[in-house]
A = this chain, B = another copy of it.
Amino acid sequence: MRNIEVCPTPELVDLYGVEGKIVVVVDILRATSCMTTAFANGIDHMIPVAKLEECKALQKSGYIAAAERDGKMADGFDIGNSPFTYMEPHLKGKGIAVTTTNGTQAIVRSAKADQIIIGSFLNRSAVARYLRSQSQDVLVVCAGWKGKVNLEDTLFAGALVDDLKNDMNYDSDSAITAQVLYNVAKADMLKFLSNSSHVRRLKGLNITKDIEFCLTSDVYDVIPVMEGERMVAMKEVVAVESNGHHKSNGAKR
Q: In the complex, A148 Cα to B172 Cα: how many Å? A: 10
Which of A5-13, A43-51, A96-104, A112-120 touches B? A5-13
Q: Which residue of B lies closest to A6 (CB)?
A: B149
| A8 pairs with B11, CB closer than 8 A | no
Within A181-220, which residues are at the interface with B (CB < 8 Å)? 181, 184-185, 195-198, 200
- With A12-B11, A181-B181, A184-B180 as known contacts, state yes or no: A173 contacts B196, CB within 8 Å: yes
Give the dominant DSSP class at A's interface: helix
A237: Cβ under 8 A from any B Cβ: no
Count class of interface residues, chain A:
20 to 34
A residues 6-28 in Cβ contact with B at 8 Å: 8-9, 11-12, 15-16
CA distance A15 to B150 in the complex (A): 14
Would you call B149 and A8 a contact (CB within 8 A)?
Answer: yes
* A44 CB, nearest partner CB in chain B, Å: 35
Q: Is the C-beta of A42 less than 8 angstroms from some C-beta in chain B? A: no
Docked-complex contact A174 and B149, CB < 8 angstroms: yes
